[in-house]
Amino acid sequence: MFDIQEIRSQFSILDREVNGKPLVYLDNAATSQKPNSVLEVCHAYYTELNANVHRGIHTLSQLATEEMELSRRKIQRFINAEHDFEVIFTKGTTEGLNLISYILTQKLQKDDEIIISYLEHHSNIVPWQLLCERTGAKLRVIPIDENGILQLDYFDKFLSEKTKVVSVNQVSNALGIVNPIEEIIARTRKNTDAYIVIDGAQSAPHFNIDVQKLDCDFFVFSGHKMYAPMGTGILYGKREILEALPPFHGGGEMIATCSFDKTTYAGLPFKYEAGTPNVGGNIALGAAVDFMNRVGHENIQNHENALLEYAQRHLLEIEGLKVYGEKAKRTGVVSFNLEGVGISSDVGMILDKMGIAVRTGHHCTQPIMEFFNIAGTVRASFAVYNTFEEIDLLVEGVKKAQRMLS
């Protein structure tokens, strides 16, 4: 049974006030709040287990290692990876994408092509631009229509023997649009042997992920958007690909042998986990997976989709309000502007005075904003602990901002 009040009771921060008003937190696409069960795991690590992992014979090191590797196995099951060593701990989606673009350097040469989409976060644009600068490869971008929907006819035209990488997000952070990645992967497999990279930063918090069913080569996501601490994330990569590619960072943990003459590298996953990891955070990421499993993926998805439908319906009753991507399949996000209000941050500041936290600006997706000829949007984004009553407060807040700013 889905009990929203019981779920909310697990998030202590939701009891606080902001500017004398009860907190209404609708900035979950930027980062989610953390349940007490996750915070307790963080506290327990630093007060009971604090030690480096994989390197110590003493009890604390052994226990910390066991807990972090247990977390890795939880995440393996969470995304249905075939092997736990295909799960690489990172600092987040951005590091994962930079890691992939770097280790693929030797696989590209001049005039090869990398395909991304117009809906990408800057972290799925800039690393590929840097790879193009290193190799002489070229970037091709799948366009969108006026609803923000990818134009796959262009994607078909782009695919060729020159295509070496296809990297797209599963869900747009700016608009919440759910992209047809199954179709993109199928078309890529049919026509090329390109590496397929999926940015799952905005999909992992909202619905079930199965990397084997998807048949992607890489899948990356952040922990802090799915109820885990900041500075945590996951890179999934197929075993045979990760084993064949070079390491990213050099240092401790990722070596098998090291001498001044030659260094050999450790096996997976340690080959890509140089240095001391965020042990407490990585263990807490497993606790966040436990939380989501207890609530249930279907319950999370159904509740958040209901919030989205309710929010969009009532926001669109406001005269002069435009929702971007209104007619596209979406999850977790409603992104909008008010006619006659040129700066989205003005709306955000008024909402903040009412205790309502939203995100404003370009959301690290400047090409999307340029396409719609706007500077930014107001973005409300939802998590499992949000309520319909909070949506009502958002709608009333937007109406107040409209009266004040028009």
For the annotated catalytic residues, the residue numbers are 364
Cα-Cα-Cα-Cα dihedral sign, residues 372, 373, 378, 383: positive
User: DSSP label at 332?
Assistant: S
CA 168 to chain centre: 12
Residue spans of alpha helices (H) in 17-151: 36-44, 59-79, 93-103, 126-135
In 72-217, DSSP assigns E strands to 87-90, 113-117, 138-142, 163-169, 195-199
HSE toward the beta carbon, residue 56, CA cutoff 13 A: 15
| Structure tokens that stand for 154 in this block | 């262009």
Can you tell me the distance from the alpha carbon of 317 to that of 335, in angstroms, rounded to the nearest whole number? 15
Nearest to 125 by CA among 164, 157, 152, 94: 94
Start-to-end CA distance of the chain, whole Å, equals: 44
Nearest to 103 by CA among 311, 274, 242: 242
The amino acid at residue 106 is: Q
Q: What are phi and psi of 247, to 5 degrees?
A: -70, 170
Can you tell me the distance from the alpha carbon of 322 to that of 217, in angstroms, rounded to the nearest whole number? 37
Three-state DSSP state, 176: coil
Nearest to 54 by CA among 23, 85, 10: 85
| Structure tokens that stand for 218 in this block | 């890489």
Nearest to 80 by CA among 303, 305, 230, 297: 297
Three-state DSSP state, 43: helix
* DSSP codes, 206-240: TS---HHHHT-SEEEEESTTTTS-TT-EEEEE-HH
Can you tell me the distance from the alpha carbon of 165 to that of 106, in angstroms, rounded to the nearest whole number? 13
- Helix H or strand E segment including 323: strand 321-323
- Helix H or strand E segment including 183: helix 181-191
